[in-house]
Amino acid sequence: MNKVLLLGYVGRDPEIQYVGKRPVAQLSLATNEPPRVLPDGSVAEAPTEWHRLVMWDQNAETAEKYIRKGTRLFVEGQLRTRTWQDRNTIKHTVTEILVTYMDIIK
């Protein structure tokens, strides 16, 4: 099963493009785990993880209208890894979350 659930904050405004007539939104989401208390009583903050989100159709339209940098967002989706070669024949790989469901958290 390929399923991802994330709750975090949007790192940048969505970038909207159209493939034919279908809208697609790309944005980043920052997540982190709750701080841990160490044995000496100090607090260790967890590092921030950044995720690339891709939304199509109605989710993309909703993102364009309502989502901005700093919006708290819950997303459900699937991992997708893409590989491509640029003009200099350098191979690039990116892992994204293909969003199937989202909810803006107030």
What CATH number has the domain bearing residue 87? Answer: 2.40.50.140
Whole-number pLDDT of residue 15: 97
Q: Domain total for the chain?
A: 1
Per-residue model confidence (pLDDT) at position 106: 85
> Is 66 a domain residue?
yes
Q: In terms of residues, how long is the chain?
A: 106
Report pTM.
0.85
State the pLDDT at residue 36: 85
Provide the residue range defining the domain that includes 97. Answer: 4-33+46-105
Ranges of residues in the chain with a pLDDT under 50 are: none
Please provide residue 22's backbone torsions phi and psi, each rounded to the nearest 5 degrees.
Answer: -90, 125
Angstrom distance (rounded) from CA 69 to CA 29: 9
Q: 73: burial class by Cβ within 10 Å (0-12, 13-18, 19+)?
A: buried
Position 45 scores a pLDDT of 84
Flag whether 39 is in a domain: no
